[in-house]
A and B are shown apart, each in its own frame.
Chain A
Amino acid sequence: MGEDIKVGCARPTGGLVGEAPNAETSSPKDVPAKEAVAMIKVGKKAPDFSAPAYHQGKFVSVKLSEYLGKWVLLCFYPGDFTFV
């Protein structure tokens, strides 16, 4: 998924997956880490984001909410070329 784009920056949309950002009345555009920590709970919606990606030879943009309707595994890791 994702369309070919110019390389940009990853950013949280400030909203939750499947909900318009402006539905979150108190949510700022750039979610500060301290507030964001409280957003992560099992049983609650994930914070939405868009991010540049490398996929099968192309640079694309991926938005989490584009995957609504599918199961998603989102994995973070410390860095490319690390050993584990």
Chain B
Amino acid sequence: MSIDSVFVHKMWNDHELAKMVKGGVPFPMLSDAGGKVGSAFAVYDDEAGVEMRGRFIIDPEGVIQGYEVLTPPVGRNVSETIRQVQAFQLVRDSKGTEATPSGWKPGRITLKPGPDLVGKVWEVWKTSMAAD
């Protein structure tokens, strides 16, 4: 979503993005002229008249599980976003019985919070797991 019109979205998709991605952008390119929706999500800069690089993860109930907002010069990282969605999906599938520690990615250990784990995280989770 940006403040551009759907006509500009079409031009950008058809003339540039379709050259990067076969078939063009697969998801809807939303138009928010005036920044009303951006304001509702607190990413609209009314001085500059544009929206910041905001990314919201919204679950099947419509609940915001996470967000990230960057100023325009720095781009986001799609694999980190996908990792977070995978983590939220795992937690949801476990009905909250499992949690994903720092650095978790699919295949790595999860934690089962409870009395037995208090003070024992160091036994199962190492700082080397915090990053790739």
Residues of chain A whose beta carbon lies under 8 Å from any beta carbon of chain B:
1-2, 7, 9-12, 16-18, 30-33, 36-37, 39-49, 51-56, 59-60, 62, 64-65, 67-82, 84
Contacts and interface: CB of A to CB of B under 8 A. Distances in A.
Interface string B52-93: 111111111111111100001111100001000100110000
Residue with the greatest number of chain B CB neighbours at <10 A, chosen from A32, A62, A73: A73
Contacts of B66: 42
Given A46-B62, A60-B28, 7 more contacts: A9-B36, A10-B34, A31-B40, A33-B44, A56-B24, A71-B59, A72-B58
Interface residues of B, number: 61
Query: Can you list the 3 inter-chain pairs with the closest CB atoms, starting with the nearest?
Result: A17-B62, A53-B28, A33-B39
Contacts of A41: 64
Interface of B: 1-6, 8-13, 16, 24, 26-34, 36-44, 46, 48, 50-67, 72-76, 81, 85, 88-89
A16 B63 CA distance: 9
Residue with the greatest number of chain A CB neighbours at <10 A, chosen from B12, B46, B81: B12
A44 B41 contact: no
Contacts of A73: 55-58, 81, 85
A53 B1 CA distance: 9
Contact of A76 (B1, B63, B88): B1
B60 A42 contact: no
A7 B31 CA distance: 10
Contacts of A9: 33-34, 36
A11 B60 contact: no
Contact of B36 (A1, A30, A76, A82): A30
Contact of A80 (B9, B44, B64): B9
Contact of B27 (A18, A31, A55, A79): A55
